[in-house]
Amino acid sequence: MVKGFSDNEVNNNTQNTQNTQIKEIKKEKKGLAGFLKGKKFTYTLPGKKQINIFGSIVIGLNIILLLLVILYLNNQEFHDFVFNVGR
């Protein structure tokens, strides 16, 4: 007795894969995927100046957040303002 698939099962599998390939070819990409279909994009690493700008923005926003948290915890008027605005 031979192990494996019979000829009928193999033929059905190949026909199914061919049918799915035909369906994929017939599907046209729509929207953004269709627009970008023929375009080639390359990724370039950011330069030193751009890294410094984004790093400065991140550090500056973190310092502002830290100051606001300290102000929230130590100043009752600011705490009440944030509490009332959050309603």
Vertex 43, ends 41 and 47: CA angle to 5°? 140
User: Measuring CA to CA, which residue among 45, 23, 41, 24 is closest to residue 32?
Assistant: 41
Distance CA 59, CA 47 (A): 18
- pLDDT value at 46 more than 70: yes
Residue 15 near residue 21 (C-beta atoms within 8 A): no
- On whether residue 6 sits in a domain, the answer given is no
| Domain count across the chain | 1
Q: Given pLDDT bands bounded at 50, 70 and 90, which one contains residue 24?
A: low
- On whether residue 61 sits in a domain, the answer given is yes
pLDDT recorded at residue 52: 97
Q: Given pLDDT bands bounded at 50, 70 and 90, which one contains residue 63?
A: very high
Average pLDDT of the chain? 78
- On whether residue 1 sits in a domain, the answer given is no
Residue 79 near residue 72 (C-beta atoms within 8 A): yes
Domain carrying residue 76: 38-87
